Amino acid sequence: MNDPTPSNGVSRRAFFQLFLGWLAGLFAFGASAVAAVRFLVPNVLFEPSEQFKADKPEDYLDGSVTFLEDERVFLIRNGNTFRCLSAVCTHLGCTVNRAEHGYHCPCHGSVFDDQGAVKGGPAPRALTWFLVTLSKDGRLLIDKGQPTAPDRYFVL
Amino acid sequence: MNASPLKQLWQKFQRTRIGRSIFRVGLPDSNLERSQVMVSSFLLHMQPAKVNKHSLRASYSFGLGLITLYLFFILIGTGVLLMFYYVPSTERAYDSMKDLEFVVSAGQLIRNMHRWAAHLMVLFVVLHLCRVFYTAAYKPPREFNWVLGVALMLLTLGLSFTGYLLPWDQLAYWAITVGTNISGYAPVVGPKLKYLMLGGNVVGQPALIRFYALHVMVLPAVTILMVAIHLWRVRKDGGLSRPDEPGNVVAQVELSHLPTNKTYGLMELARGTTPQVGANPEDEVFSWPHLVFREMLLFMFVVAVLLVLAIGWNAPLEQFANPIHPPNPAKAPWYFLGLQELVAHSAFWGGVGVPTLLVVTLVLLPYVDRQRRGTGRWFARERVLANTIFSICLFVAIVLTIIGSLFRGPNWSWQEPWKKPPAATESH
Amino acid sequence: MANESVRKFYPWFTVLGLVVGSLVVGGYYKDQFREWKDFQRKFVREEVRRAITPQQRTLAESTPVQVRQILLPELNRVDRCTTCHLAVDDPTYGGYPQPLAYHPLHEQHPSEKFGCTICHRGQGRATTTAAAHGNVPHWDEPMLPLMYIQASCGKCHQAADNPAAPELAHGQQIFEDSGCRGCHKLGGTGGIIGPDLDKVGARRSSEWLKKHFLSPAAVTPGSGMPPQKFSEPDLEAITLFMLSQTGEMVPGYYASMKVIASPDEGQRLFQQKGCIGCHSLGGKGGTVGPALDDVGMRRAPDWIVAHFKDPQMVTPGTVMPKFGFTEAEARSLTDFLMHMREQKVALSLPSLMGPVERGREVFRKYGCAGCHGPDAQGGVPNPNAKTAQQVPGLKYVADSYTKDEIFKRILNGQHEIVSLDASKPAPPLYMPGWRGTIKDPELDDLVAYLFSLKPKDAENLGF
């Protein structure tokens, strides 16, 4: 045998075998752990989609503020520009109502101006503006996952 | 002695082949048997054969660890029963809770026991932690057991939190919304952690089923494992801490370095610490019956208290969870209210900073504390500084929790509980 | 040392470690290579190729590769077809090969509201081509062949009114004309000799249905259904109509879209709601409300629609009740009334028809033609029946029966049909009893119609 086994340890071959075996085994364990964690991260969500399509731009009158109940947003048209404002009060999540100028929350009395900024009441932050673009089939596409600045318009 | 006919019959059975195959050792009748029973019996083998008299003193440990353990057992028992009726679906969870309340025999009783045992377990885990701290029982060789204990406390909080969501009522839904929002404040990993916990962006069906899986399987399995190791360490570290322990480890000496010109007793050659080292026979009594009997009594006492609570007070079930109508104020479960109060002042410190600091401090404590003296006694003089700091932190935590639960009303505004209007502050 | 004996296992340890390691990695990577990812990458490459401005290019390049699904909680469906069919909503992809083609009806039926499987069937939750298209074991709803797609229109819309589903309307007309209802119940009305057809579209494939029409006994042994002689286009149409009968309940939002506004639907509603009770048309009807002959000239369509929706608001003080019409129903009724202005159509309202005409409608409604032949001429085979191995025609009932006898026969039926050859199996078709099904006024009209069938110039043959 061309592999002298020392009396107080392992031979080169044995060491290599053990090393490789452990390496592969630990790697397998690690990869399984990675797979298990990846397993737990959802690939699809069963919530209402953050993106939704409204009607075609021409369906909204100039100067209109349209409340879309299911999505809880206001769609605002001025001339050829479109914006979308969240109707969810930043205090505790009630739906705000359109007032003559601005918005009022019926739950705890928060008051917002036309730009969504807080004018009174317990709300801590301004209302969120959402990104408006055009969908492939010519309808307004709103993405509630993309907050945007109040002065960011979608221009037709 | 002359045994009753029933006992004679039983002894006769034990001597049959079948009897001997099941019961390797009968009920202990002699000291020899009392020593053996701890090793021969599956259910009892966690106990030591003999236990120090000091450890049996109620005024020392108050049995707090045992009470916590018993509450855990009761939670498992009642929890398994509840699993036969509870359905973890957003459509059916609430209805299954109503069924338990109205049409299941002892349904209300068992649910109440489960709820009150859960709250008590959180309370007693903290009390047990306080006891161990004040008696300096975390010092060597028990440092790692303390760390295990901290882990067990976190697991207890996790079990309570995951279970809190399951009824799917307004109380559950909003407490978890607040709780997961707080976790989302962690830097870098916060939002991802929240996404993983909820299985999405909102508290919905994926969140419910994840919390259910954690609550009935993952966390209990991990907890049972850690409890086993925790109790194992109690045994191996020499039982409960006492004032007259022989101090630290017997010096470990390599066999080849021992002088060979004398005879050695067995114990001199034993390596490491064992419960027998320094054990004084006069201070020891047999676990059977002294320890075991006290344990049983304590268990009965815990059950009695739980029954009183379960019969007298119903666990809450508010309206069906409504994501559009948050209550005002929306409060986390009571053990997180102190944190929620802090969050109201600073999201980072309340949600991330303070909890992390607390946990890190607790874990590092036994390794940072260099004072070797003071173990085994309540409020030892040598530990005035440590005890004071701990008591202040405890006091602050209690005060914050009381503020959060009693002194905060709608919009988290200050209110005096004695002035609060009797009607519920629900927003519609 | 003990290690000596264990050392012989070291090579096993290495091999097993490597095997397990590569299996874990291999298994995980196999899971990562999905068919749909290839399709999506192809789409992204196409989008990039079509991009003109650098902005569009970056937008195209950053399209995420992920499963796309449409959640339809009301329909209890989840459709993942758009994971591969990525351009269903983009008109600029018209004419592209699948899966990247634009969907022609997308305007009226946006995919985010309807999904795909509600019309196309198939397995919405699948993400591989074969499984999604549904021709796999243990999936009962494979995709409808495209030539039968109009069958799905019937799930929500009335067959007759839908200009986009002429095949379906044709199929329904054949069904009514052939008198299938005489033996089969559909939508609650019909005979009991054959099985109910309410769910036949969900249970049977197009091939089965066609074979069955041409030769029922070959497909279902022992069947008494006579072989149908349909032309090829008619056969496809009636098969399509059968495929539309799935018995699926369409909820809420989708049901409210059921009615496509049309004058025919308006006329149907007009009859159904009994408007003639208060209003008159052509001089006949009630006098509580005004005559409706030229309402189209006096009122604008919008006014009429609003009036249907809420009479009180439009004419305060009116006694006309609020019927709760949907948008489509109100528009249909308005179309009907405007239609009259334009064409002065002769109304075939039952209240204005004579008994014989009404009786003909009853004959048609209950499918008597299925056994007694179109216009009751006979000719439908009934093997081994003494009556010339056919179901008898009804032309001469006026001679053979008194009115009372006819009434009794229709109400009680005739279950025992005399056999031609007693040694052969009994005739499969029999006359069912219609008591409880045909209502008394309908019965009077039906008998009037039957009695009118005798040819005017025939002699009294005195049977």
User: pLDDT by residue (tens digit) across C104-145?
Assistant: 888 888 898 899 999 999 999 999 999 999 988 888 899 999
Cβ atoms of C177 and C194 within 8 Å: the answer is no
Interface with C, mutate which of A17, A47, A49, A56 (most C CBs under 10 A):
A17
Q: Please indicate whether, in this complex, the C-beta atoms of A45 and B324 are within 8 angstroms of each other.
A: no
To the question of pTM greater than 0.90 for the whole model, the response is: no
Q: Which residues pair with A133 in a beta bridge?
A: A141
Q: Return the pLDDT at B61.
A: 93
Cβ atoms of C449 and C356 within 8 Å: the answer is yes
Average pLDDT over residues C418-434: 88
Which of A1-5, A111-115, B337-341, B349-353 has the least mean pLDDT?
Answer: A1-5
Q: Please indicate whether, in this complex, the C-beta atoms of A137 and C7 are within 8 angstroms of each other.
A: no
Angle between helices B219-236 and B64-83 (to 10 degrees): 150
Q: Looking at chain A, which subunits does it touch, using at least 3 CB pairs closer than 8 Å as the criterion? A: B, C
Residues 52-91 of B with CB under 8 A from A: none
Q: Please indicate whether, in this complex, the C-beta atoms of A52 and C112 are within 8 angstroms of each other.
A: yes
**C and A: touch, per 3+ CB pairs < 8 A?**
yes
Query: Looking at the partner chain, which of A10, A43, A136 has a beta carbon nearest the beta carbon of C89?
Result: A136
Instruction: Classify C285 in phi/psi space as left (phi over 0), alpha (psi -120 to 50) or beta.
Output: left
| Average pLDDT along chain C | 86
What the block records as the tokens of B174 is 């909003």
Is C9 touching A (CB cutoff 8 A)? no
Q: Return the pLDDT at B426.
A: 38
Interface with C, mutate which of A27, A59, A135 (most C CBs under 10 A):
A27
Q: Please indicate whether, in this complex, the C-beta atoms of A17 and C14 are within 8 angstroms of each other.
A: yes
| pLDDT tens, residue by residue, C146-194 | 999 999 988 887 777 677 889 999 999 999 889 898 899 998 888 888 9
Report chain C residues whose CB lies below 8 A from the CB of A49.
Answer: 71, 112
**Residue A129: its H or E element:** strand A129-134
Nearest to B33 by CA among B13, B45, B48, B49: B49
Q: How many CA atoms lie within 13 A of C83 on its CB side?
A: 23
Name the 3-class secondary structure at A68: strand
The whole-angstrom separation of Cα C330 and Cα C315 is 16
Is A121 touching B (CB cutoff 8 A)? no
CA distance A70 to chain B (A): 12
Average pLDDT over residues C388-413: 89
Q: Return the pLDDT at B33.
A: 80
Domain boundaries, chain A: 1-41, 51-155
Interface with A, mutate which of C14, C85, C89 (most A CBs under 10 A):
C14
Cβ atoms of C213 and C239 within 8 Å: the answer is yes
Q: pLDDT exceeding 90 applies to what percent of chain A? A: 34
Report chain A residues whose CB lies below 8 A from the CB of C112.
Answer: 49, 52-53
Full 3-state SS string of chain C: CCHHHHHCCHHHHHHHHHHHHHHHHHHHHHHHCCHHHHHHHHHHHHHHHHCCCHHHHHHHHCCCCCCCCEEEHHHCEEECHHHCCCCCCCHHHCCCCCCCCCCCCCCCCCHHHHCCHHHHCCCCCCCCHHHHHCCCCCCCCCCCCHHHHHHHHHHCCCCCCCCCCHHHHHHHHHHHHHCHHHCCEECCEECCCCCCCCCHHHHCCHHHHHHHHHCHHHHCCCCCCCCCCCCHHHHHHHHHHHHCCCCCCCCHHHHCCCCCCCHHHHHHHHHHHCHHHCCEECCEECCCCCCCCCHHHHCCHHHHHHHHHCHHHHCCCCCCCCCCCCHHHHHHHHHHHHHHHHHCCCCCCHHHCCHHHHHHHHHHHCCCHHHHCHHHCCCCECCCECCCCECCCCCCHHHHCCHHHHHHHHHHCECCCCECCCCCCCCCCCECCCECCECHHHHHHHHHHHHCCCCCCCCCCCC
Which residue does chain A place closest to C106, by CA atoms? A137
The whole-angstrom separation of Cα B288 and Cα B296 is 12
Report chain C residues whose CB lies below 8 A from the CB of A138.
Answer: 91
CB count within 10 Å of CB B118 equals: 23
Q: Please indicate whether, in this complex, the C-beta atoms of A46 and B196 are within 8 angstroms of each other.
A: no
Report chain A residues whose CB lies below 8 A from the CB of B411.
Answer: 91, 108, 122
Sequential pLDDT tens for chain B (428 residues): 566 888 888 888 888 888 888 877 667 788 888 877 777 778 788 888 888 888 999 999 999 999 999 999 999 999 999 999 999 999 999 999 999 999 999 999 999 999 999 999 999 999 999 999 999 999 888 999 999 999 999 999 999 999 999 999 999 999 999 888 888 878 888 889 999 999 998 899 999 999 999 999 999 999 999 999 999 999 888 889 888 776 544 444 455 666 677 776 666 555 555 555 556 677 888 888 889 999 999 999 999 999 999 999 999 999 999 887 888 788 889 999 998 888 888 878 888 899 999 999 999 999 998 888 888 889 988 889 999 999 999 999 999 999 999 998 887 888 898 886 644 443 33
At B336, the amino acid letter reads F
Give Cα A19 distance to the centre of its chain: 46
Query: Looking at the partner chain, which of A42, A92, A94 has a beta carbon nearest the beta carbon of B199?
Result: A42
What the block records as the tokens of B282 is 């006069």
**Residue A73: its H or E element:** strand A73-78
Per-residue burial over C420-443, b if 16 or more Cβ lie within 10 Å, else e, is eeeeeeebbbbbbbbeeebeeebb
DSSP B370: -
Q: Please indicate whether, in this complex, the C-beta atoms of C17 and A20 are within 8 angstroms of each other.
A: yes
Interface with A, mutate which of C7, C55, C85, C86 (most A CBs under 10 A):
C7
Average pLDDT over residues C360-387: 87
Q: Please indicate whether, in this complex, the C-beta atoms of B326 and A94 are within 8 angstroms of each other.
A: yes
What the block records as the tokens of C253 is 């939002």
Residues 22-51 of A with CB under 8 A from B: 40-42, 45-47, 50
Query: Looking at the partner chain, which of B196, B200, B324 has a beta carbon nearest the beta carbon of A45?
Result: B200
Q: Please indicate whether, in this complex, the C-beta atoms of A18 and C10 are within 8 angstroms of each other.
A: yes
The whole-angstrom separation of Cα B427 and Cα B78 is 34
CA distance C436 to chain A (A): 47
> What's the alpha-carbon Rg for chain A, to the nearest Å?
29
Greater pLDDT, C103 or B352? C103
Report CA torsion sign: B52, B57, B61, B62.
positive
Is A83 touching B (CB cutoff 8 A)? no
The whole-angstrom separation of Cα C27 and Cα B217 is 26
Report chain A residues whose CB lies below 8 A from the CB of C24.
Answer: 28, 31-32, 35
**Pairs of residues, one from chain A and one from chain B, whose beta carbons lie less than 8 Å apart:** 38
Residues 34-93 of C with CB under 8 A from A: 66-67, 69, 71, 78, 87, 89-92
The whole-angstrom separation of Cα C13 and Cα A17 is 7
Domain boundaries, chain B: 53-241+280-324
Class of domain A51-155: mainly beta
Report chain A residues whose CB lies below 8 A from the CB of C110.
Answer: 53, 137
The whole-angstrom separation of Cα B245 and Cα B154 is 30
Report chain A residues whose CB lies below 8 A from the CB of B324.
Answer: 93-95
- Tokens 């796999």 correspond to what residue? C136
Report chain A residues whose CB lies below 8 A from the CB of C28.
Answer: 31, 34-35
The whole-angstrom separation of Cα B278 and Cα B209 is 52
Please check the confidence at residue C345 and state whether its pLDDT lies above 50.
Answer: no
For this complex, say whether ipTM is above 0.85: no
**A and B: touch, per 3+ CB pairs < 8 A?**
yes
Greater pLDDT, C333 or A91? C333
CB count within 10 Å of CB A139 equals: 19
Please check the confidence at residue A9 and state whether its pLDDT lies above 50.
Answer: yes
The domain defined by B53-241+280-324 folds into: Cytochrome Bc1 Complex; Chain C (1.20.810)
Is B411 touching A (CB cutoff 8 A)? yes
Q: Return the pLDDT at C40.
A: 95
Identify the structural domains of chain C with CATH numbers, from first to last: 35-133 (no CATH), 147-252 (1.10.760.10), 259-351 (1.10.760.10), 354-451 (1.10.760.10)
Please check the confidence at residue C272 and state whether its pLDDT lies above 90.
Answer: no
Is B191 touching A (CB cutoff 8 A)? no
